[in-house]
Amino acid sequence: MAKYKIIYDRNNCVAAGPCAAVDPEHFSINPDDGKADLVGGKETSPGIFELDIESDEAAQQAVEVCPAAVIQIKKIE
Ligand code: SF4
Protein backbone atom coordinates (compact mmCIF):
# COMPACT_ATOMS: atom_id res chain seq x y z
CA MET A 1 0.00 0.00 0.00
CA ALA A 2 1.28 3.43 -0.89
CA LYS A 3 2.61 5.54 1.91
CA TYR A 4 3.98 8.54 0.08
CA LYS A 5 3.11 10.62 -2.93
CA ILE A 6 5.57 12.22 -5.33
CA ILE A 7 4.29 15.52 -6.70
CA TYR A 8 6.29 16.76 -9.67
CA ASP A 9 5.88 20.18 -11.26
CA ARG A 10 7.10 19.48 -14.78
CA ASN A 11 6.33 23.03 -15.91
CA ASN A 12 9.21 24.38 -13.86
CA CYS A 13 11.74 21.60 -14.46
CA VAL A 14 14.94 23.17 -15.77
CA ALA A 15 16.13 19.94 -17.45
CA ALA A 16 19.16 19.62 -15.23
CA GLY A 17 18.88 15.85 -14.99
CA PRO A 18 20.31 14.64 -11.67
CA CYS A 19 16.95 13.32 -10.49
CA ALA A 20 17.13 10.52 -13.06
CA ALA A 21 20.69 9.71 -11.99
CA VAL A 22 19.83 9.24 -8.32
CA ASP A 23 16.30 7.82 -8.75
CA PRO A 24 15.96 6.17 -12.16
CA GLU A 25 12.99 4.12 -10.93
CA HIS A 26 10.86 7.25 -10.71
CA PHE A 27 12.47 9.77 -13.06
CA SER A 28 13.63 9.49 -16.65
CA ILE A 29 14.83 12.21 -18.96
CA ASN A 30 12.60 12.84 -21.94
CA PRO A 31 14.76 13.04 -25.09
CA ASP A 32 12.40 15.51 -26.73
CA ASP A 33 12.73 18.40 -24.31
CA GLY A 34 15.36 17.20 -21.81
CA LYS A 35 12.93 17.51 -18.91
CA ALA A 36 12.29 14.71 -16.47
CA ASP A 37 9.22 12.48 -16.72
CA LEU A 38 7.73 10.97 -13.58
CA VAL A 39 7.65 7.28 -14.51
CA GLY A 40 4.11 5.96 -14.17
CA GLY A 41 2.86 9.30 -12.87
CA LYS A 42 -0.62 10.68 -13.52
CA GLU A 43 -1.12 14.25 -14.71
CA THR A 44 -3.47 15.72 -12.10
CA SER A 45 -3.47 19.24 -13.52
CA PRO A 46 -1.59 20.71 -16.50
CA GLY A 47 2.09 19.90 -16.03
CA ILE A 48 1.63 18.52 -12.51
CA PHE A 49 2.25 14.79 -12.13
CA GLU A 50 1.64 12.58 -9.09
CA LEU A 51 2.64 9.05 -8.19
CA ASP A 52 1.96 7.01 -5.07
CA ILE A 53 5.02 5.16 -3.75
CA GLU A 54 5.74 2.85 -0.83
CA SER A 55 9.20 4.05 0.13
CA ASP A 56 10.45 7.60 -0.18
CA GLU A 57 14.14 6.68 0.12
CA ALA A 58 15.20 7.07 -3.52
CA ALA A 59 12.71 9.82 -4.30
CA GLN A 60 13.98 11.82 -1.35
CA GLN A 61 17.39 11.88 -3.01
CA ALA A 62 15.79 13.27 -6.16
CA VAL A 63 14.19 16.01 -4.07
CA GLU A 64 17.59 16.88 -2.64
CA VAL A 65 19.46 17.05 -5.95
CA CYS A 66 16.84 18.93 -7.94
CA PRO A 67 18.12 22.50 -8.37
CA ALA A 68 14.68 23.80 -9.29
CA ALA A 69 12.86 22.35 -6.25
CA VAL A 70 10.06 21.00 -8.44
CA ILE A 71 9.82 17.58 -6.76
CA GLN A 72 7.88 17.18 -3.51
CA ILE A 73 7.08 14.15 -1.40
CA LYS A 74 4.02 14.02 0.82
CA LYS A 75 3.38 11.38 3.43
CA ILE A 76 -0.13 10.04 2.83
CA GLU A 77 -0.52 7.51 5.67
S1 SF4 B 1 16.57 17.44 -11.21
FE2 SF4 B 1 14.75 18.75 -11.16
S3 SF4 B 1 15.08 20.29 -12.72
FE4 SF4 B 1 16.51 18.62 -13.10
S5 SF4 B 1 15.48 17.29 -14.57
FE6 SF4 B 1 15.04 16.52 -12.54
S7 SF4 B 1 13.10 17.50 -11.98
FE8 SF4 B 1 13.94 18.64 -13.67
User: pLDDT by residue for the chain (77 residues), tens digit each?
Assistant: 679 999 999 999 999 889 999 999 999 999 999 999 999 999 999 999 999 999 999 999 999 999 999 999 999 97
- Ligand 1 pocket, residue 53 CB under 6 Å: no
Q: Which atom of ligand 1 is nearest to the CA of 17?
A: 5
Residues 6+ apart with CB under 8 A from 51: 5, 6, 8, 26, 38, 39, 40, 41, 42
Per the confidence metrics, is the pTM higher than 0.85?
A: yes
Residues 52, 14: Cα–Cα separation, whole Å: 23
Q: 47: Cβ below 6 Å to ligand 1?
A: no
pLDDT for res 2? 73
Q: CA-based diameter of the chain, in Å?
A: 36
* pLDDT for the residue numbered 77: 79
- Phi and psi at residue 62, to the nearest 5°: -65, -40
> Structural domains in the chain?
4-75 (3.30.70.20)
Expressed in angstroms and rounded, the spacing between residue 56 Cα and the centre of ligand 1 is 17
